[in-house]
């Protein structure tokens, strides 16, 4: 090992540039904290001519050669996406380099294989920046809470959708209008699919569930609904019952007759305005954790952006650099519990349903009977008459999601029901 630790940086976009800048600006502090200087050995990019701020001798288009270079100790990957990131990280790990990644998609897709490779090679694989940006979250889950049993992890982990839903709540706008505003303000990408349809949150949910429950969970295991179908009416109905609408990533341990399973899902939900997550506005992220002994915890901060993400990358970099010097790898992930993922249809959820009905005697009884027929117990009903019509606002107790969905489908077919004006799941009600 040379006198300094050498870092190969893969990718030099918003996050990569911030990592480079911080490595330079804080070189002395980092050296003191690590115990040795940390230097950049090279920066792999596709178009070297677009990175005028990076010393030319560091730039290379041959990422594969860079990650396996003898003088490289650590590899930082901020390319994103599955390939070529996967091939490069496996090559780096195979060559004995420790790896820091911000790549949620890759970790959620292939975390098991990457962890196995890292364990075989005796190197580190850290990825704090992959979930909730700058918020220290994965390390607390992996380490601080390693002596506890987690019950539930519920997070607002996508800033774009939280910004859109916050604007809808503030202005009464519909989804389309709020999305346009988010795009204008730079909070949504030109193609907002990954955020709006919940793919980004689902990848993060898979990573959180894997760590929280010591069981392998992949993006494709995560039930996913985006926010494109959330209407101004949904947001208004939520406010009427003291709730607000958030896109939640929910990872729960569910007790069952055949042992515990885990439910992992991403969908919009109404939560009480008194819930700590309800106050998380704009592009902020927050994750709420329930553990047997620790009780309720919450972590809050900026979930995206070059600097915050770079802060998380550098925290990991200091950790793997220290481990490099002591010759020990940090704790890997463990899939020892091997809990299986429960199908969404069998996952217990609660629904809020608002109905326009004919204001004639017996409607409530008919509607209530439909819920009962599917084994769904009703928690609260509010009925408001106006003219010959009435509005029914129903919040259920927990029931298997399929039973709730089927009930709603049947309600839509009932003669007495003129329209279903809002259906959303409800979380966080006692």
Binding-site ranges for its own copies (CB under 8 A): 18, 22, 26, 29-30, 32-33, 128, 134-136, 139-140, 143-149, 214, 276, 279, 291-302, 305, 307-308, 310-319, 322-323, 326-329, 331, 334, 336-337
Closest CB to its own copies among residues 144, 369: 144
DSSP type of residue 10? E
| Integer Cα distance of 92 and 68 in angstroms | 6
d(CA 123, CA 362) in angstroms, rounded, equals 68
Q: Rounded to the nearest whole angstrom, what is the least distance from the CB of residue 98 to its own copies in the complex?
A: 14
Q: Does 11 appear as a known binding residue?
A: yes
Give least dist CB 20 to its own copies, A.
12
How, if at all, do strands 243-254 and 399-400 pair? unpaired
Asked if the peptide bond before residue 84 counts as cis, ω within 30 degrees of 0, the response is yes
Rounded distance between C-alpha atoms, residue 401 and residue 343, angstroms:
9
The answer on whether 189 is annotated among ligand-binding residues is yes
257 is in an annotated binding site: no
Instruction: Report whether 400 contacts 377 (CB < 8 A).
Output: no
CA–CA gap between residue 287 and residue 135 (Å, rounded): 9
Residue 406 annotated as lining a ligand binding site: no
Rounded to the nearest 10 degrees, how much is the dihedral formed by the CA atoms of 86, 87, 92, 98? 10
Burial degree of 165 (CB within 10 A; 0-12, 13-18, 19+): buried
Q: Which is nearer to its own copies, 72 or 313 (CB)?
A: 313
State the nearest-atom distance from the C-beta of 270 to its own copies, in Å. Answer: 20
Minimum CB–partner distance for residue 121 and its own copies (Å): 15
Q: 147 or 361, CB closer to its own copies?
A: 147
12 labelled as ligand-binding? yes
How many CA atoms lie less than 13 Å away from 308 in the CB half-sphere? 17
Which residues, including other chains, have CB under 8 Å from residue 85's CB and lie 6 or more apart? 10, 77, 79, 101, 103, 106
Question: Of 174 and 276, which CB lies nearer to its own copies in the complex structure?
Answer: 276
94 vs 276 by CB, closer to its own copies: 276
335 annotated to a ligand binding site: no
Token pair recorded at residue 225: 């609904």
Is 246 annotated in the active site?
A: no
Query: At its nearest, how many Å lie between its own copies and the CB of residue 222?
Result: 24
Active-site annotation holder among 6, 97, 204, 246? 204
Tokens 């009925």, residue located: 383
Q: Which candidate, 234, 228, 162, places its Cα nearest to that of 423?
A: 234
Annotated binding site for NADPH: 104
Going by the annotation, the residues of the binding site are 10-17, 104, 189
What residues are annotated to the active site? Answer: 204
């Amino acid at each position: 090992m040379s006198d300094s630790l050498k870092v190969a940086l893969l990718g030099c976009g918003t996050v990569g540039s911030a990592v480079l800048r911080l490595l330079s600006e804080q070189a002395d502090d980092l050296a003191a904290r690590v115990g040795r200087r940390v230097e950049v050995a090279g920066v792999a990019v596709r178009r070297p001519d677009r990175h005028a701020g990076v010393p030319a001798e560091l730039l290379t288009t041959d990422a594969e050669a860079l990650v396996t270079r003898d003088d490289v100790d650590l590899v930082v990957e901020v390319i994103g996406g599955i390939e070529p990131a996967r091939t490069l990280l496996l090559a780096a790990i195979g060559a004995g380099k420790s790896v820091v990644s911000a790549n949620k998609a890759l970790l959620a897709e292939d975390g098991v294989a990457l962890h196995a490779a890292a364990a075989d090679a005796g190197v580190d694989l850290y990825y704090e920046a992959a979930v909730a940006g700058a918020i220290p979250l994965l390390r607390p889950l992996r380490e601080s809470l390693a002596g506890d049993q987690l019950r539930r992890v519920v997070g607002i982990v996508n800033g774009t959708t939280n910004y859109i839903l916050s604007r809808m709540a503030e202005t009464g706008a519909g989804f389309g209008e709020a999305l346009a505003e988010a795009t204008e303000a730079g909070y949504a990408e030109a193609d907002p699919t990954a955020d709006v349809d919940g793919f980004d949150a689902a990848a993060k949910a898979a990573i959180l569930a894997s760590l929280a429950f010591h069981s392998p969970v992949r993006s494709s295991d995560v039930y996913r609904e985006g926010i494109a179908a959330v209407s101004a009416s949904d947001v208004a109905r939520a406010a009427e019952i003291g709730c607000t609408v958030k896109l939640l990533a929910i990872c729960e341990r569910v007790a069952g007759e055949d042992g515990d399973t885990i439910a992992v899902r991403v969908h919009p939900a109404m939560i009480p305005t008194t819930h700590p997550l309800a106050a998380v506005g704009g592009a902020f992220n927050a994750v709420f954790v329930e553990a047997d002994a620790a009780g309720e915890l919450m972590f809050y901060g900026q979930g995206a952006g070059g600097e915050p993400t770079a802060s998380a990358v550098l925290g990991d970099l200091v950790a793997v650099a220290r481990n490099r010097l002591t010759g020990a790898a940090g704790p890997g992930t463990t899939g020892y519990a091997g809990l299986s993922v429960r199908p969404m249809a069998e996952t217990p959820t609660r629904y809020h349903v608002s109905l326009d009905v004919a204001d004639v005697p017996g409607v409530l009884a008919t509607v209530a009977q439909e819920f009962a027929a599917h084994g769904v117990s009703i928690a609260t009903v509010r009925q408001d008459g106006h003219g010959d019509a009435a509005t029914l606002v129903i919040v259920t107790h927990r029931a298997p999601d399929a039973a709730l969905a089927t009930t709603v489908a049947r309600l839509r077919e009932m003669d007495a029901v003129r329209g279903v004006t809002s259906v959303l799941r409800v979380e966080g009600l006692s």
